[in-house]
Structure 1
Amino acid sequence: MIGWEDVYKVVVAMAPLYVALMLGYCSVKWWRIFTSDQCDAINKLVCYFTLPLFAFEFTAHVDPFNMNYLFMAADAISKVLIVIVLACWAKCSSKGSFGWSITSFSLSNLTNSLVVGVPLLRAMYGQMAVDLVVQSSVFQALVWLTLLLFVLEIRRTRNEYDYDHDDDHSKNDVDRDLEDDQNIVTGDDHSRPSFWTLTKVVWMKLAMNPNSYACIVGITWAFLSKRWHVEMPSIIEGSILIMSRAGTGTAMFSMGLFMASQEKLIGCGASLTIFGMVLKFIAGPVAMAIASIAVGLHGDVLRVAIIQAAIPQSITSFIFAKEYGLHADVLSTAVIFGMIVSLPVLVGYYAILEFVH
């Protein structure tokens, strides 16, 4: 049963995040320390250095031979269900779009399990719940955040091509001919690239992005170290830890910088804030409940599966949204307000699920 001491542990885990957030916010809003370009540079530091190293360090220390693969299957099925719904919405609805499908997937599926989920679920269901939350975090980092990065890169690459094609109309007649003559020779007559050509370009870009393989390298090391009982050399581990320990803090600091650059504290408005909360605290858990029952989860494992799906928004999803220019205001609001309202929501789920057998 959850007591005040358990609630205090959750608050203790969350409070430092808001300290980093406020420092970032104040440094731009009131102290005027950073310019807009410097804020973008800080976000790139987080995106390409601290978060990949954090992901590697985290996944490198798990035990891949001791996982609940039925739980992992339920998690995968729940996310596939949401992907199918979003794909149908984007294809069939006049209001559907590729960009909003990506954001909606992030809002409904990607969680900040380690900061909020671990202390709270430990109080609810003990060490078993912590193990499941950690496994879910590994699977999220390895599969779903990598997939998110892939579709964001596809979107940006496609938009860059469209921009270059549109920009071609602004050239004068002489510059445009010269180019047409060259394009005839090279075979580029401004046709939209095929899916495979686009995919090749995206993979080349992802090869330069450490986020796309940090978790893969980490889980590979985890397999090797657990199988043959080898330890990472201390000089390498120390080099990784010095940056990875700053991952969550610098991510929240970057979010504070972004918030300070907005005209309003809630940059996306009340309606989108509510939309994000509904996806996070209702759509995600409902999809997880359906998938968990379908694969045969029951008892406390079923309860943990549903509750962990309602854990607040992943901070990494905001960093990616900011880097790729896709609804960063919605994701930042989801992270901040999600962590504020998560405690009563998760306790409410806990109380309701006590009646589920």
Structure 2
Amino acid sequence: MIGWGDVYKVVVAMVPLYVALILGYGSVRWWRIFSREQSDAINRLVCYFTLPLFTFEFSAHIDPFNMNLLVIGADTISKFIILVVIAFWAKCTTKGSYCWSITSFSLSSLTNALVVGVPLMKAMYGQLGVDLVVQLSVVQAILWLSLLLFFLEFRRTRIEGINKDVEATTSTVQSSAASTGDHSIPFCKLMKLVWLKLATNPNSYGCVLGISWAFISNRWNLELPGMVEGSIQIMSRAGTGTAMFSMGMFMALQEKVIACGASLTVVGMVLRFIAGPAAMAIGAIAVGLRGDVLKVSIIQAAVPQSITSFIFAKECGLHADVLSTAVIFGTIASLPVSIAYYALLEFVH
């Protein structure tokens, strides 16, 4: 059973996140150091520099030849279940939409497993838990965060195209009915623009290059040159801290601390701590996971919301208030929730 000493280790890993958050909040709300424009610039620094280097560093140091394919398969099934449910909800209900489908996928699927999950799993299941969490984090960075980035860029590019089309129409035919109609760029052209944006986004390469180097280094026992390693680390180590700092700045620019309101906060917590683990449980049982591997798979799906999902949402202008609230309150709630899952799963053999 997890003890108070183990709980303390998890708290030690979580407190620095809130220190960075409070500093970011205070720099805007209390000390007036940064403006809204400067806050956006810092978020772009995080999005295009520190996060890609952070993902490169942690993925470059795993052993890809010893990854648990059954756990990865269970994770893939769980994400597929979530995507199917969200697609059905968006298609068959009046409240469903493409924008909320993207945000719902983030809330139910993407976790901050490295910062909170690693100390939590180490306390509960030792090195087995740590290894599985790191492996799933690499898969998340390569596949699922890339998919999220694609969805966000698709939406943003389409909106930009519609706005340009409307502006061109209104300048030709003088505020007219045609100027307010449904415009869109041809699909092939839209996809080309999206892929061009992704091709110039370093987040598309960070984890792919990292895992590629991991294959090379483990196959031929190579190490990165000291200068290269140091150049990456000096920026990557600031990744999580600057992301939380940016989130604090975003909070300070909102009228309320719970920026998205109480009802959406509750929905976010349900998706994060119930829907995500439930889908993972189905996927784990489907591939035949048993024992501690099954338990780790379910509990790691109940760790807090991915900070990266907030950074992407802020940069692309989609429900950043919902994601920031999910990260902040989810990080607080994750410890008791994870311990509750741990206690319940002790009865599973």
Normalising to structure 2: TM-score of the pair? 0.96
1:18 and 2:18 correspond: yes
Match of 1:296 in 2: 288
> Given that residues 158 and 190 in structure 2 are in contact (C-alpha distance below 8 angstroms), is that contact kept between their aligned partners in structure 1?
yes
Q: What is the rounded CA distance, in whole Å, between the counterparts of 2:99 and 2:26 in structure 1?
A: 31
Q: Distance in 1 between matches of 2:245 and 2:84?
A: 34
CA separation in 1, counterparts of 2:215 and 2:107?
31
SS for the counterpart of 1:65 is helix
Counterpart-to-counterpart distance in 2, 1:336 and 1:264: 14
Residues 1:158 and 2:150 are matched in the alignment = no
SS in 1 for 2:272: helix
- Structure 1 portions without partners, runs of 5+: 177-189
CA deviation string 1:141-177 (max 9, x = no partner): 0100011001100000011111112223431559x9x
Written as runs of structure 1 = structure 2, the 5 A alignment for 1:55-204 is 55-171=55-171, 192-204=184-196
Task: Assess, with a 3 A threshold, how the Cα gap between structure 1 residues 173 and 346 changes in structure 2: closer, same or farther.
Answer: closer
1:21 is paired with a residue whose SS is helix
Residue in 2 aligned with 1:34? 34
CA distance in 1, matches of 2:270, 2:183: 41
Of the structure 1 ranges 194-203 and 225-234, higher mean CA displacement relative to structure 2 is found in 194-203
CA distance in 2, matches of 1:91, 1:201: 26
CA distance in 2 between partners of 1:68 and 1:86 (Å): 27
Task: For 1:161-310, list aligned pairs within 5 A.
Answer: 161-171=161-171, 192-310=184-302
Distance in 1 between residues matched to 2:183 and 2:24, nearest whole Å? 44
Question: CA 1:116–1:173 in structure 2 vs 1: closer, same or farther (change >3 Å)?
Answer: closer
Name the counterpart of 1:49: 49
Structure number, greater radius of gyration = 1
Q: Would the aligned equivalents of 2:166 and 2:183 in 1 still touch at CA under 8 Å? A: no
**Is residue 321 from structure 1 mapped to residue 306 from structure 2 by the alignment?**
no
Spell out, residue by residue over 1:226-274, the C-alpha distance to the aligned partner (whole angstroms, 9 max, x if none): 0011110111111110100000000000000000000000000000000
Supply the distance in 2 between the matched residues of 1:154 and 1:125 (Cα, whole angstroms): 40
CA gap 1:195/1:172 in 2 versus in 1, 3 angstroms: closer
- Code of the residue aligned with 1:278 in structure 2: it is V
The one-letter code sitting in structure 2 at the alignment partner of 1:44 is R
Q: Distance in 2 between matches of 1:346 and 1:159?
A: 39
Judge conservation of contact 2:165–2:183 (CA < 8 Å) in 1: no
- Residue 330 in structure 1 maps to residue 322 in structure 2: yes
1:267 and 1:248 map into 2 onto residues whose CA distance is: 21
| Shift of residue 121, structure 1, vs aligned partner | 1.1
Give the letter for the 1:210 counterpart.
Answer: P
Equivalent position SS for 1:171: helix
For normalisation by structure 1, the TM-score amounts to 0.94
Deviation at 1:89, TM superposition (A): 1.1
Give the Cα separation in 1 of the matches to 2:319 and 2:261: 12
Is 1:350 aligned to 2:337, yes or no?
no
1:311 aligns with 2:275: no
Determine if contact 2:106/2:309 at 8 Å carries over to the other structure.
yes
Q: CA deviation at 1:196?
A: 2.6
Gap regions ≥5 residues in structure 2:
177-181
| In 2, Cα distance between equivalents of 1:26 and 1:192 | 42
CA distance in 1, matches of 2:108, 2:188: 29
Q: Matched residue of 2:66: which SS?
A: coil
Q: Is the contact made by 2:265 and 2:322 (CA closer than 8 Å) also made in structure 1?
A: yes
Equivalent AA in structure 2 for residue 232 of structure 1: L
SS in 1 for 2:15: helix
Find the counterpart in structure 1 of residue 179 from structure 2: none
How many angstroms apart in 1 are the aligned matches of 2:188 and 2:56?
A: 29
Q: Give the root-mean-square deviation of aligned CA atoms.
A: 1.3
Q: Deviations over 1:256-314 (max 9, x none)?
A: 00000000000000000000000000000000001100010011100111000111100
